[in-house]
């Protein structure tokens, strides 16, 4: 089996897994993998991730032109912008996962840190997540919003739409997307309950110990707390 054939099978396998576990519904969501020649393989438009055909995946050249397969997802601008600004990105997953979408709709979300550091695995697999404003699905302007982040994030929440996550491999991108969704679920479960979050020192320790991007710790607020986290003085 050629490398491209293996990657096509991988997209279909992970797509089915995401669909069957309810992380994206209907024909929503899309996946892409960057190839060594600079081109990509992407999922087609209006096709369920649960029923992908390896032979019909969209093959694009380095300029994003369709070479073979079905018409690609209309969300290509999202993928293009992340690949352009993250040279280390080998794959991208975009879903409409319920809890991540719900968090993107809350009024008190920090655009620079859409989710607080609630668990070690969120910090390790995702790092930080940016929130960008709402754009119509497929609107090329969303690519400009992602480019405006200047490659500082591998994880982006599109307001009222869903997460877009890049990583070195498709497996890593899927795992990061799942961790993002679980953290969003925790955020909603604990909303208004003043949860204990990881401290900045604890985040720095994870960055040092696991060799993570230093920017994760450097750009974290001095107090890694929920916007409504207040200290309680004894009376």
Decide the pairing of beta strands 129-132 and 155-158.
parallel
pLDDT tens-place string over residues 178-208 = 999 999 999 999 998 999 999 999 999 999 9
The pLDDT tens digits for 102-135 are 999 999 999 999 999 999 999 999 999 999 999 9
The band of 230, judged by pLDDT with boundaries at 50, 70 and 90, is: very low
- pTM score: 0.91
Among residues 91, 81, 77, 82, the alpha carbon closest in space to that of 40 is found at: 91
Beta bridge partners of 41: 33, 59
Is it the case that residue 209 has pLDDT exceeding 60? yes
At residue 227's C-alpha, the angle toward residues 234 and 199, to 5°, is: 70
25 exposure class (CB count in 10 Å sphere: 0-12, 13-18, 19+): middle
Check whether 227 has a pLDDT greater than 80.
no
CA distances from 13 to 8, 9, 50, 165, 184 (A): 9, 6, 8, 18, 24
Residues 83, 121, 122, 135: which is the catalytic one?
A: 121
Q: Is position 121 annotated as part of the catalytic site?
A: yes
- pLDDT tens figures, 138-192: 899 999 999 999 999 999 999 999 999 999 999 999 999 999 999 999 999 999 8
Q: Which fold has domain 3-218?
A: L-fuculose-1-phosphate Aldolase (3.40.225)
- Tens of pLDDT, residues 68-96: 999 999 999 999 999 999 999 999 999 99
Tokens 């090329």 belong to: 140
């Amino acid at each position: 089996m050629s490398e491209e054939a293996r990657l096509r099978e991988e997209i279909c396998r992970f797509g089915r897994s995401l669909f069957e576990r309810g992380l994206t519904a209907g024909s929503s969501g899309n996946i892409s993998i960057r190839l060594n020649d600079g081109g990509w393989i992407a999922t087609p438009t209006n096709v369920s991730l649960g029923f992908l055909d390896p032979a019909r995946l969209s093959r694009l050249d380095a300029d994003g032109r369709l070479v073979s397969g079905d018409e690609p997802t209309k969300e290509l601008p999202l993928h293009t912008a992340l690949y352009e600004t993250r040279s280390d990105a080998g794959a991208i997953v975009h879903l409409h996962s319920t809890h991540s979408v719900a968090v993107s709709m809350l009024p008190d979300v920090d655009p620079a840190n859409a989710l607080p550091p609630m668990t070690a695995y969120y910090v390790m697999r995702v790092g930080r997540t940016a929130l960008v404003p709402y754009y119509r699905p497929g609107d090329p302007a969303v690519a400009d919003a992602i480019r405006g982040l200047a490659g500082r994030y591998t994880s982006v929440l599109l307001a009222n739409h869903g997460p877009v996550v890049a990583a070195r491999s498709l497996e890593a991108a899927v795992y990061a997307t799942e961790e993002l969704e679980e953290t969003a679920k925790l955020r909603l479960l604990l909303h208004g309950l003043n949860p204990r979050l990881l401290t900045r020192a604890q985040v720095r320790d994870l960055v040092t110990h696991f060799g993570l991007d230093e920017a994760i710790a450097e750009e974290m607020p001095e107090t890694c707390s929920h916007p409504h986290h207040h200290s309680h003085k004894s009376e």
